[in-house]
Amino acid sequence: MSETSAPREPHDHDHGGHGHDHGSGRWARIKHGVAHVVTPHSHEAADKVDPAMESSAQGVRTLWISLAVLGVTTVLQAVVVVVSGSVALLGDTVHNAADALTAVPLGIAFVLGRRVATRRFTYGYGRAEDIAGIVILLTITASAVLAACTSVDRLLHPRQILYLPAVAAAAVIGFIGNEWVARYRINTGRKIGSAALVADGLHARTDGFTSLAVLLGVGGAAIGWPLADPIVGLLITLAILAVLRDAAKEIFRRLMDAVDPALVDRAEEALRAVPGVVEVGELRMRWIGHQLRAEAAVVIDGSLSLSAAHQVAVDAEHALLHAVPRLTAALIHPDPTCTDGEDPHATLAHHGRAG
């Protein structure tokens, strides 16, 4: 997708000499398929492998396994809630159930993300993950409201808790299940670049600590203080609100096309290291689902031939694809200097005004 005046004819580039280890043959085909963006290319269907397919498959697999683990945890806790009457454990169980159900919108988003771009959705369906993130935020909010209402009701109408050892065991089970799921989701989310999956993992981690908080209610009930259970329920509500704030911040940044400034610095360094690039101008990056796209304006020597300028743009694009993790496409605009000795910053400023 480099922006040049070169004749737009299919062409091939030799990749044998850029010295990067791409791992398996499949990953080599993936990188090969996304690397040629300057002009149309003719490749066989087997070479057009979208890296989002592989990462989406990892996301779906993570969600299904998490759903199974949290489902078992929730069922075990629900049984104990019924026989014990613990409102703190009820709040924790409801939260666990809500966390398990968030796998549904995320799973749908990952499946949608596999669909190819169309003439209407020209960037594909990766933004479905951001919509799923909003659904997750609403789910967390609903679980906080339910936990708060139940706890307040129990404060006004105290009730004795039965089977305290079973409640304590259920709390420990809830912690173990949630912490395992949290680590799994966060690790996968960071690996594939899914903010929604990371937010969901943080949600599960908070659930784990709220499960341990149930033990405080058990201790209070054991020493004859029944109000300890609903008070712990309110503390769980505060914990849910805390994770809601963190998750909302992450989703908001993704919706606003925020990226880590370190990635921008890395991209600029990669472009400046390309032979033929005099200066780097405007650089923009954005997430589409869990894949990155970039647009950059670079100054090149105006005395270069059209073919040489084209090759500089191709090299700049390849440098970005190799330097920035999860970057799948880059649009390079080469802006030639007009006269010998012209300040490249002035050229870039002119380019910015023209745009």
With cut-offs at 50, 70 and 90, classify the pLDDT of residue 225: confident
Query: Which pLDDT score, from 0 to 100, does residue 338 have?
Result: 63
Tally of CA atoms within 13 A in the half-sphere of 325 that contains its CB:
11
With cut-offs at 50, 70 and 90, classify the pLDDT of residue 54: low
Q: Smallest Cα–Cα separation from 199: which of 244, 237, 241?
A: 244
Domain boundaries, the chain: 25-49+259-354, 51-255
Mean pLDDT of 138-146: 82
pTM of the complete model: 0.62
Q: Smallest Cα–Cα separation from 309: which of 300, 297, 298?
A: 300
Tally of CA atoms within 13 A in the half-sphere of 48 that contains its CB:
8
For residue 233, is pLDDT > 90?
no
Q: What is the mean pLDDT of the chain?
A: 75
CATH superfamily of 51-255: Cation efflux protein transmembrane domain (1.20.1510.10)
For residue 339, is pLDDT > 80?
no
> Worst-scoring range by mean pLDDT, 51-60, 122-131, 145-154, 249-258?
51-60
With cut-offs at 50, 70 and 90, classify the pLDDT of residue 6: very low
For residue 209, is pLDDT > 50?
yes
- Which DSSP string do the residues of 140-207 spell out, in sequence order? HHHHHHHHHHHHHHHHHS------HHHHHHHHHHHHHHHHHHHHHHHHHHHHHT-HHHHHHHHHHHHH
For residue 132, is pLDDT > 70?
yes
Bridge partner residues of 277 (DSSP) = 300
Domain 25-49+259-354 bears CATH identifier 3.40.50.300: no
Query: Which pLDDT score, from 0 to 100, does residue 56 have?
Result: 67
How confident is the model over 10-50, as pLDDT tens digits?
334 443 333 344 344 443 333 333 333 333 333 332 222 33
Residue 335 and residue 174: Cα distance in Å, rounded? 58
Query: Which pLDDT score, from 0 to 100, does residue 112 have?
Result: 83
How confident is the model over 325-338, as pLDDT tens digits?
888 889 999 988 86
Q: Smallest Cα–Cα separation from 221: which of 161, 153, 158?
A: 161
pLDDT above 70 covers what percent of the chain? 79
Residue 154 CB neighbours (<10 A): 23
What token pair was written down for 4? 């040049």
Q: At what angle do helices 128-156 and 195-222 cross, to 10 degrees?
A: 10
Query: Which pLDDT score, from 0 to 100, does residue 340 have?
Result: 52
Residue of higher predicted confidence among 225 and 47: 225
